[in-house]
Amino acid sequence: SSGINAEWPLRPGFYVMDSANRLYMWDLSVRDSTPLVIETYEQKGLLSFTELVPAAGSTSPVLILGFKDGSIEAHQIKEEAMNNKINNISKLESYLKLVL
């Protein structure tokens, strides 16, 4: 399935949503060949997502999922996922140079 939405958050990871209602969670500081997590939302129909990043010193980011039935879910990102903060732009540029 082709990706229909992607978001690059404030750490060396990103999310991709495909047309088969799957959400892929990648972290390039861990590995670049496969996603760390694949979640499937077939029954509810995943419509959109976004990551809300709190102000410095606040709680961890929250991933908001929107579904076709009008419901939403909020998932707090684990603290250990935030410990690998790096310059995302340079990481993305380096990665793209390897794959393009």
How do residues 32-72 score in pLDDT, each as one tens digit? Answer: 788 988 999 888 888 888 888 776 666 677 889 999 999 99
Residue 86: the pLDDT is 46
Say how many CA atoms lie within 13 Å of 38 toward its Cβ: 7
What global pTM score does this model have? Answer: 0.63
Which are the contacts of 19, defined by CB distance < 8 A and separation ≥ 6? Answer: 1, 2, 4
At residue 86, φ and ψ (nearest 5 deg) are -140, 175
Inter-residue contact 15 to 23 (CB < 8 Å): yes
Residue 66: its pLDDT value, please? 93
Q: 84: which 2 tokens? A: 């690998």
**pLDDT tens digits along 15-43:** 888 888 899 988 877 787 889 889 998 88
Instruction: Report the distance separating Cα 32 and Cα 15, nearest Å.
Output: 13
